């Protein structure tokens, strides 16, 4: 145990092992009666059937960029199905393994995506915070509702997630070494993996890029901000072979499907915090993460105020979901790409907690504000548990107690 705590090699092995054990414990629980890492809803008639059709179409035509699907709905523009991963790296990799059934391939990637994303998150945080905080935050990321639930239910909701975490490495490389290659490549893979989620992903990563820029005490000048847009613009240009035909298909295709929206509701804050908490169709975190964001936002550090304010606006005001969903409806699934950025942001709070540098008066004030703001019963229950945990933490500062609490909540 002492070796694990002191030697970084053993620390990394232990962290990866714990991530794998955590995931496959859930995997075994979910597949005990089903034998498939997939849901019984859309998964059977969409999520592996359509990729299987795309692969068979490639074998028939050897065309990497088909434009028409003759056997779908009597013949359709194939870009109507881009949402299901027409150009995703997962699909292209499956071309090399025709002897593996697509149903098995999709299950494999359904497991690989959350595992690889969490391991990458651990190594990214390891450069910024202590070992315990990096491990705990990466486990919180792994156990977040959308990452676990959607790897089983709707894989296209998270098939881009490893590339977002890689983009975080790319942003550090851009800011510190002035090299944009890694960021451009990872952004490009996000775009071809999911045009729908790439909008929020690219926006969130650009905001994070500015956050790191401010954190490094660099001047906030228009010229500097414009320079930060270069890798984003280059990746968008590279992805135009996906974005242009998709835009044409969307604008010239269906005209219905919009929810009836009362536009005054778009600017009314969501007091239940349902865009942020618990559900697999939202950011899917717990109340302690929301408290961590509020705590960091009311700090004196400019970068925290900047990033925290934006996250809180997206987590509470429906208008941002409405815009990210193409003004079709107000669903918080569009915010899922922000999850890695939020995990990095709240890891700073957990690091202060771990090192016992928290201002508890300020913390309890934040909890009181959240209590008065929200209307969600689940949040009230978690705030009660949090209060007990923090009071114990003050009197008995065992540094793992908050993280043990978090996993008990799950």
The first and second tokens of residue 120, run together, are 């990458």
Closest of 55, 138, 130 to residue 91, by C-alpha: 55
Q: Is the pLDDT of residue 91 over 60?
A: yes
Give me the pLDDT at residue 410, please.
47
Q: What percent of the chain is predicted at pLDDT more than 90? A: 27
Closest of 105, 176, 138 to residue 20, by C-alpha: 138
Q: Are 22 and 142 in contact (CB under 8 A)?
A: yes
Q: What percent of the chain is predicted at pLDDT more than 70? A: 90
- 128-185 confidence digits (pLDDT tens): 998 888 998 999 999 888 998 888 888 888 999 999 999 999 999 999 898 999 999 9
Is position 243 within any domain? no
Q: Which of 57-71, 116-130, 285-299 shows the lowest per-residue confidence on average (mean pLDDT)? A: 57-71
Q: Is the pLDDT of residue 280 over 80?
A: yes
Q: What is the mean pLDDT of residues 101-126?
A: 91
Is position 394 within any domain? yes
- 145-157 confidence digits (pLDDT tens): 899 888 888 888 8
Q: DSSP characters for 283-302?
A: --B-HHHHHHHHHHHTSS-H
Is position 282 within any domain? yes
Give me the pLDDT at residue 371, please.
87
Angle at which helices 195-215 and 240-252 pack, to 10 degrees? 130
Residue whose token pair is 């639930």: 149
Q: Are 186 and 163 in contact (CB under 8 A)?
A: yes
Q: What is the mean pLDDT of residues 9-35?
A: 86
- 255-267 confidence digits (pLDDT tens): 555 556 777 778 8
Element holding 101 (H helix, E strand): none
Q: Is the pLDDT of residue 399 over 70?
A: no
Q: Is the pLDDT of residue 206 over 90?
A: yes
Q: Is the pLDDT of residue 409 over 70?
A: no
Distance of CA 28 to the CA centre of its chain: 23
Distance of CA 80 to the CA centre of its chain: 24
Give me the pLDDT at residue 184, please.
96
Which is more confidently placed, 388 or 312? 312
Give me the pLDDT at residue 211, please.
93
Is position 277 within any domain? yes
Q: Is the pLDDT of residue 52 over 90?
A: no
- 327-347 confidence digits (pLDDT tens): 777 888 889 999 999 999 999
CA angle 22, 165, 271 (to 5 degrees): 80
Task: With cut-offs at 50, 70 and 90, classify the pLDDT of residue 210.
Answer: very high
CB atoms within 10 A of CB 291: 22
Element holding 77 (H helix, E strand): strand 76-77
Residues 6 or more apart whose CB falls under 8 angstroms from that of 141 comprise 117, 118, 121, 147, 339, 340, 343
Q: Which of 39-43, 206-210, 324-328 shows the lowest per-residue confidence on average (mean pLDDT)? A: 39-43
Q: Are 267 and 336 in contact (CB under 8 A)?
A: no
19: left (phi over 0), alpha (psi -120 to 50) or beta: alpha
Is position 190 within any domain? no
Handedness of CA 391, 384, 271, 280 (dihedral sign): positive
Is position 75 within any domain? no
Tally the domains of the chain: 1
Give me the pLDDT at residue 3, please.
54
What's the rounded Cα separation, in Å, for the pair 297 and 302? 9
Whole-number Cα distances in Å, 16 to 12, 47, 136, 150, 308: 6, 28, 12, 21, 29
Full 3-state SS string of 173-195: HHHHHCCCHHHHHHHHHHHHHCH
Closest of 110, 114, 113, 139 to residue 125, by C-alpha: 139
Which is more confidently placed, 279 or 296? 296
Paired strand residues for 69: 76
Is position 197 within any domain? no
Q: Are 166 and 119 in contact (CB under 8 A)?
A: no
Element holding 68 (H helix, E strand): strand 68-69
Task: With cut-offs at 50, 70 and 90, classify the pLDDT of residue 408.
Answer: very low
Is position 365 within any domain? yes
Residues 6 or more apart whose CB falls under 8 angstroms from that of 112 comprise none
The chain-wide mean pLDDT, for the chain, equals 84
Give me the pLDDT at residue 162, please.
95
Domain that holds residue 382: 255-410
Which is more confidently placed, 97 or 118? 118
- 212-253 confidence digits (pLDDT tens): 999 887 777 888 888 899 999 999 999 998 888 888 877 776
Residues 6 or more apart whose CB falls under 8 angstroms from that of 274 comprise 282, 332, 376
């Amino acid at each position: 145990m002492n070796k694990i705590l002191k030697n970084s090699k053993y620390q990394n092995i232990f962290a990866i092992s714990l991530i794998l054990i955590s995931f496959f414990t859930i995997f075994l629980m979910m597949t005990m009666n089903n034998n498939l890492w997939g849901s019984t809803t859309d998964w059977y008639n969409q999520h592996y059937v359509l990729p299987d059709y795309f692969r068979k179409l490639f074998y028939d035509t050897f065309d990497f960029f088909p434009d028409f699907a003759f056997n779908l709905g009597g013949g359709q523009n194939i870009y109507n199905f881009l949402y299901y991963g027409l150009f995703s790296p997962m699909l292209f990799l499956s071309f090399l393994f025709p002897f593996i059934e697509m149903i098995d391939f999709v299950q494999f990637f359904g497991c690989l995506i959350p595992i690889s994303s969490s391991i990458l998150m651990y190594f990214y945080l390891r450069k910024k915070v202590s070992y315990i905080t990096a491990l705990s935050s990466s486990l919180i990321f792994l156990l977040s509702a959308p990452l676990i639930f959607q790897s089983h239910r709707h894989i296209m909701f998270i098939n881009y997630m490893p590339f977002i975490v890689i983009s975080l490495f790319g942003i550090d490389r851009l800011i510190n070494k002035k090299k944009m290659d890694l960021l451009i490549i990872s952004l490009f893979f996000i775009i071809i993996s999911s045009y729908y989620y790439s909008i929020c992903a690219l926006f969130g990563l650009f905001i994070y890029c500015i956050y790191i820029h401010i954190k490094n005490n660099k001047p906030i000048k228009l010229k500097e901000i414009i320079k930060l847009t270069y890798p984003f613009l280059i990746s968008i240009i590279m992805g135009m072979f996906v974005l242009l035909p998709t835009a044409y298909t969307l604008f010239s295709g269906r005209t219905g499907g919009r929810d009836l929206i009362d536009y005054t509701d778009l600017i009314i804050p969501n007091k239940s915090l349902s865009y942020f908490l618990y559900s697999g169709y939202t950011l899917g975190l717990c109340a302690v993460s929301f408290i961590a964001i509020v705590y960091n936002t009311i700090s004196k550090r400019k970068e925290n105020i900047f990033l925290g304010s934006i996250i809180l606006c997206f987590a509470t005001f429906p208008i941002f979901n409405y815009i990210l969903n193409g003004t079709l409806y107000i669903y918080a699934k569009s915010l899922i790409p922000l999850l890695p950025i939020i995990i990095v942001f709240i890891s700073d709070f957990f690091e202060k907690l771990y090192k016992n540098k928290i201002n508890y008066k300020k913390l309890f004030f934040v909890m009181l504000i959240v209590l008065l703001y929200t209307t969600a019963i689940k949040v009230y229950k978690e705030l009660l548990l949090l209060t007990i945990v923090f009071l114990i933490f003050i009197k008995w500062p065992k540094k793992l107690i908050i993280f043990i609490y978090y996993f008990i909540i799950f």
